[in-house]
Structure 1
Amino acid sequence: MRPMKAVDGITRERFECNVVPAYEPVVMRGLVGHWPLVAQGRAGLEACLQYLTGFDKGAVVDAVLAKPGPTRAFSYKPDLDGFNFMHDKRPYAALFEQLWRYSHFPEPPSLAAQSALVPEALPGLERANACPLLDADAAPRLWIGNRATVPAHFDDSHNIACVAAGRRRFTLLPPACAPLLYLGPPDYAPTPAPMSVVPDLHTADPVRFPLIAEALAQAIVAELEPGDAIYIPPLWFHQVESLAPHLNILMNYWWRPEAAPGRADDLHLASLRLAMLALRHLPDGEREGWRALFGHYVFGARGEGLMHIPEAQRHLFGEIDAAQDALMRRDIAGRLKP
């Protein structure tokens, strides 16, 4: 493992021109150190929860609860026939009260409310604590809990994650590490994101998971303090450990630019599952044939490789507008009907 690249004093121009195109994770020290939420987090658990309560309108949020253990991971059960945590919906008031009670336990259960859309759950918090690198229409999500681990997973969106209270350790691995991470099924995971079945990369059983050592050799690691933020590019695997014993708060922003004016950029995971479903039953030779065609049609044919087709006649090889996109989606949806 090696330390993650870190920068100070990042501006939006530098972020858009240098950080995002590089397709590598970067820690941005002190990016949101000016947030009132960060100041309240530094003041302590009770002050921070009281501050958040001022924005609470009583909406219910997703909460998870797991028994205390060595890894404190929200993960699969050991035999993968379910998940090792309870899930329910509750108002923030109940969650805050439980976090306060658990702060008096020497080894409390792991409790967290994850991925709550801030404008709906705590309206106004997003305006009082705005990300300086994004437009206001990039709605943040809030992650709040005590000490716990989210195993290695990937998202298909750009991600800026801002630590507002507590400390978090991020372990990131490039997409090419997928074969080394013992990934669970993409349609059966503890969260909506595809996830590794290994609860904690750093304590993985080398007999059961021998490839993890090879994966960790390619990993980059960073520990973030309140006010720090991290940029995670799409598809990079990340394990996230909330380290403070009683209160950790993260506000993150997922976004994807439009593929073209009026065209949503939203088909990635759907196309992955569809390809798995369509090709799974084929013999190995035919699967290799499809691998070659995907390499050409999806990833290869561009630039000089298309010079034999007039630009106006490139159709799906070329640029398409929102109307063409909608027409193709309807055609594909029709082909999927039984």
Structure 2
Amino acid sequence: MKEVEGITRERFEREVVPAYAPVVMRGVAAHWPLVAQGRAGLEPCLQYLMGFDGGQPVDAVLARPEPTRAFTYRPGLDGFNFTLDKRPYAALFEQLWRYSHFPEPPALAAQSALVSDALSGLEQANAMPLLDAAVPARIWIGNRATVPAHFDDSHNIACVAVGRRRFTLLPPQCAPLLYLGPPDYAPTAAPMSVVPDLHTTDRTRFPLVADALAHAVVAELEPGDAIYIPPLWFHQVQSLAPHLNILMNYWWRPLAAPQRPDDLHLAALRLAMLALRHLPDGEREGWRALFGHYVFGARGEGLAHIPEGQRHLFGDIDVAADAALREDLLSRLKR
């Protein structure tokens, strides 16, 4: 995986984001107080975090200490292999401290909590220099565990503050090789592979994983390091330190149209699956060709035959046109 040091915001925006490839950015957060507290040890770090805790319950997942330590599907895909509940950070931290004395504790994590809500002030004390302050931070706190390969539809900077993490990234074109679960039924909000760990899986059961890994890039991040993950890139994330791993991440997207967030991608995917599932193969292939043109192909010289002011959905749309299109789609869905 490509690595850079001394990255600036200007260089990040000019070189990293447009390339649509993952990049490890060493030392981006080496100056964070949270990184220093993590180096001091588990107890000083947890005490530091308690200074920001407002007592709000956060989502916590707990799984048995299986070899992969993955938060994933049960073997029959009829549920998930973890329990989910809400608890205050004080209870989570006490449990992590107790588990630090176990030779092989259960996998425990509080994932994707909004920092501004759960640990008010921590975000300002540990600011991300590559993004606007308006991009919210989320925090992931737990012991050793694995999040199987999945994708997000947002840009992502993930910064290791405490412990170590191994990231395995694969381009979207690897989707047919990753044994993906249903997009509307996954252990998290993100569509996910049913393979608990790409590196240790049973190749007789999942033979295509070897082909997928031929396209993978892997990196291990130390405290203060960050990684940029482009939208739709699959990523498996392994928290490697035995007792405490903390990550802060930042998801963002540009505006799709004035005053409207860019938030329809997964909804469009599911709607297309619902709309086309019943059609015969020949017609489905026809729609594949039309999607290739209307959604992905028609741009630049391919639109030269249409005056710029008459391109409608092929071109730029204003707030009123955007709202009218959404209203038309909603009315069709309600029939």
TM-score scaled by length of structure 1: 0.98
Post-superposition shift, 1:260?
3.5
Post-superposition shift, 1:304?
1.1
- The residue number in structure 1 matching 2:223 is 226
Work out which of the residue numbers 233, 250, 254 in structure 1 matches 2:247: 250
Post-superposition shift, 1:332?
0.3
Work out which of the residue numbers 316, 319, 322 in structure 2 matches 1:319: 316
- Unmatched 5+ residue regions in structure 2? none
Q: Secondary structure at the match of 1:133?
A: coil
Post-superposition shift, 1:246?
0.1
Post-superposition shift, 1:313?
1.1
- What is the CA–CA distance in structure 1 between the aligned matches of 2:51 and 2:321, rounded to whole Å? 47
Asked if the contact 1:171–1:238 (Cα under 8 Å) also holds between the matched residues in 2, the reply is yes
Q: Does 1:118 align with 2:106?
A: no
Work out which of the residue numbers 296, 301, 304 in structure 2 matches 1:299: 296
Q: Secondary structure at the match of 2:48?
A: helix
Q: Secondary structure at the match of 2:238?
A: strand
State the aligned residue count: 335
Q: Does 1:141 align with 2:144?
A: no
- What is the CA–CA distance in structure 1 between the aligned matches of 2:261 and 2:136, rounded to whole Å? 16
Post-superposition shift, 1:264?
1.6
Post-superposition shift, 1:306?
1.0
Q: Does 1:196 align with 2:190?
A: no
Q: Secondary structure at the match of 2:250?
A: strand
State the one-letter code of the partner of 1:144.
I
What do you get for the CA RMSD once the two structures are aligned? 0.6
- The residue number in structure 2 matching 1:271 is 268
Q: Does 1:106 align with 2:103?
A: yes
Q: Deviations over 1:261-295 (max 9, x none)?
A: 32321110000000000000000000001001101
- The residue number in structure 1 matching 2:55 is 58
State the one-letter code of the partner of 1:223.
E
Say which is worse superposed, 258-267 or 32-41, in terms of deviation. Answer: 258-267
Post-superposition shift, 1:321?
1.6
- What is the CA–CA distance in structure 2 between the aligned matches of 1:144 and 1:325, rounded to whole Å? 39
Work out which of the residue numbers 287, 292, 300 in structure 2 matches 1:290: 287
Work out which of the residue numbers 144, 160, 164 in structure 1 matches 2:161: 164
Asked if the contact 1:262–1:321 (Cα under 8 Å) also holds between the matched residues in 2, the reply is no
Q: Secondary structure at the match of 1:16?
A: helix
Q: Secondary structure at the match of 1:32?
A: coil
Post-superposition shift, 1:259?
2.2
For 1:171-182, list aligned pairs within 5 A.
171-182=168-179
State the one-letter code of the partner of 2:170.
L
Work out which of the residue numbers 307, 327, 330 in structure 2 matches 1:330: 327
- What is the CA–CA distance in structure 2 between the aligned matches of 1:195 and 1:117, rounded to whole Å? 22
Q: Secondary structure at the match of 2:148?
A: strand
- The residue number in structure 1 matching 2:10 is 13
State the one-letter code of the partner of 1:181.
L
Work out which of the residue numbers 179, 184, 195 in structure 1 matches 2:181: 184
- What is the CA–CA distance in structure 1 between the aligned matches of 2:201 and 2:159, rounded to whole Å? 27
Q: Secondary structure at the match of 1:202?
A: coil
Post-superposition shift, 1:236?
0.2
Q: Does 1:260 align with 2:265?
A: no
Q: Secondary structure at the match of 2:261?
A: coil
State the one-letter code of the partner of 1:13.
E
Asked if the contact 2:172–2:234 (Cα under 8 Å) also holds between the matched residues in 1, the reply is yes
Moved over 3 A (4+): none
- The residue number in structure 2 matching 1:155 is 152
- The residue number in structure 2 matching 1:94 is 91
- The residue number in structure 1 matching 2:80 is 83
Q: Secondary structure at the match of 1:246?
A: coil
TM-score scaled by length of structure 2: 0.99
Q: Secondary structure at the match of 1:222?
A: strand
- Unmatched 5+ residue regions in structure 1? none
Asked if the contact 2:156–2:251 (Cα under 8 Å) also holds between the matched residues in 1, the reply is yes
- What is the CA–CA distance in structure 2 between the aligned matches of 1:160 and 1:327, rounded to whole Å? 34
